[in-house]
Structures are given as C-alpha cells and as structure tokens.
Amino acid sequence: MTPRRNENSRRAILTAALELLTETGYTAVTIEAIAARAGVGKQTIYRWWRGKGAVILDALTDGLPDVIELPDSGDLRTDLREVLRATVAEFADPRMSATTRALTIETLADDDLAAQVRDRLLRPQLDAVRARLASARDAGQVRPDAPLDQVVELLFGPLYHRWLLRNGPLTDTYADGIVDLTLAAVTPR
C-alpha cells in the first residue's frame, strides 16, 4: 500500500471505531465490526494494532492536542471545580463510564497499553491541572512548598476511588467538596 492509502484506511478505521463505540458501547465493539464499517479486512487492522483496546485508544486520542491548557480565570477554585465537575460527569455518564471501565480492564492486564492510556489520554489533563496549580503558586494562592504532583492526585484520586468502589454518588457537589478539601490543604496559612 502507498502511504496515502495507509492514511486513508487508518482514518476510516478510527472513525468506524469511534462511531461503533458511541452507538453500541465498548463491549459490543469488535475488530470484525470495525473492519466491516471501515471497508477494510480484519488483517489490515491487526497489522497496525495489537487489539481492540489499542484501536479504541487511538480513536479516542486522535486529534487531541499533546498539551492542554486549562482556563485561567484568576480564581483557582473556580477553575479546578470546572475540571473536576467535568471529570465527575464523565465517570457518571453510563456510556463514558463503560468505556473507561473496559479500557481499565485492558490496561490492568497490559502494561504497554496502560502506559499509552496514561501518557496519551490522561497525562495531558493531569499536566494541565499541574500547570494551573503552578501558576496559582506563582500568584501566591498555593503555598510554595506544596508537592504539586501529589496535589494533582489529591484532586483526581478520590474520583477514581469512588468510581472503582461505587461507594457514593458522583455529583457536582462531590467534585466541589474535593476541590475545597484540596485547596484547604495547599492554601497558604
């Protein structure tokens, strides 16, 4: 195949994967169905991807920017609440949650896929929050010795924990509460 045909097939495959994901949900998506909708043979997909998880990850990250920048309203609490409310909404959405659950299952059994999901899907988001915390620190709104990597985990960790254990509602109020607790931990005294 020429590079051009490769790229056309690649786009068709990723588009088909994303459409099927939206229409039927992760579990029902198969390599066969992706191939059929994209008008390619199954072997074409297996030549470029190791399995369904890898295709879906590429479909989800295709076209995403490598670097995300968070809105900076000047008020850290407002900006963090916005991010955490959006994340909570993703976890609370049945279809999004099903995709996250299925991808998580695959990453727990596949170190390489885990690294890719982390670095391509999650890392830009975590880095954006870290950068926003750093600018707040420069503005004197976060104490200078706050360990920013851990502060990021203080924000997102509880959401993952609650989603994994299903031990409470995932709501805006919950997101706001986690932001408030985290800010109480890092606001200069």
How many other CB atoms are found less than 10 A from the CB of residue 33? 16
Cα separation of 101 and 107, whole Å? 10
At 189, which amino acid appears?
R
Residues 102 to 161 in contact with a second copy, rule: CB under 8 A: 104-105, 107-109, 111, 114-115, 118, 122-123, 126, 146-147, 149-151, 153-154, 156-161
In whole angstroms, the minimum distance from the beta carbon of 133 to a second copy comes to: 13
Residue 126 or 131 with smaller CB distance to a second copy? 126
In whole angstroms, the minimum distance from the beta carbon of 177 to a second copy comes to: 5
- The count of residues interacting with a second copy (CB under 8 A) is 41
Listed in sequence order, the residues at least 6 apart from 132 whose beta carbon sits closer than 8 Å to its beta carbon are 70, 72, 76, 79, 80
- Sort 57 into a burial class: Cβ within 10 Å, 0-12 / 13-18 / 19+: buried
Which three-class secondary structure string do you get for 98-121?
HHHHHHHHHHHCCHHHHHHHHHHH
Residue 6 or 173 with smaller CB distance to a second copy? 173
Residue 96 or 185 with smaller CB distance to a second copy? 185
In whole angstroms, the minimum distance from the beta carbon of 71 to a second copy comes to: 23
In whole angstroms, the minimum distance from the beta carbon of 168 to a second copy comes to: 7
When asked if residue 166 is in the footprint of a second copy (CB under 8 A), the reply is yes
Contact 60, 118 (CB under 8 A): no
When asked if residue 186 is in the footprint of a second copy (CB under 8 A), the reply is yes
Listed in sequence order, the residues at least 6 apart from 123 whose beta carbon sits closer than 8 Å to its beta carbon are none
Contact 38, 16 (CB under 8 A): yes
At 33, which amino acid appears?
A
Spell out, one character per residue from 67 to 106, where the chain touches a second copy: x when CB under 8 A holds, - when not: ----------------------------------x--xx-
Residues in contact with a second copy by CB under 8 A are 101, 104-105, 107-109, 111, 114-115, 118, 122-123, 126, 146-147, 149-151, 153-154, 156-162, 164-168, 174, 177-178, 181-182, 184-186, 189
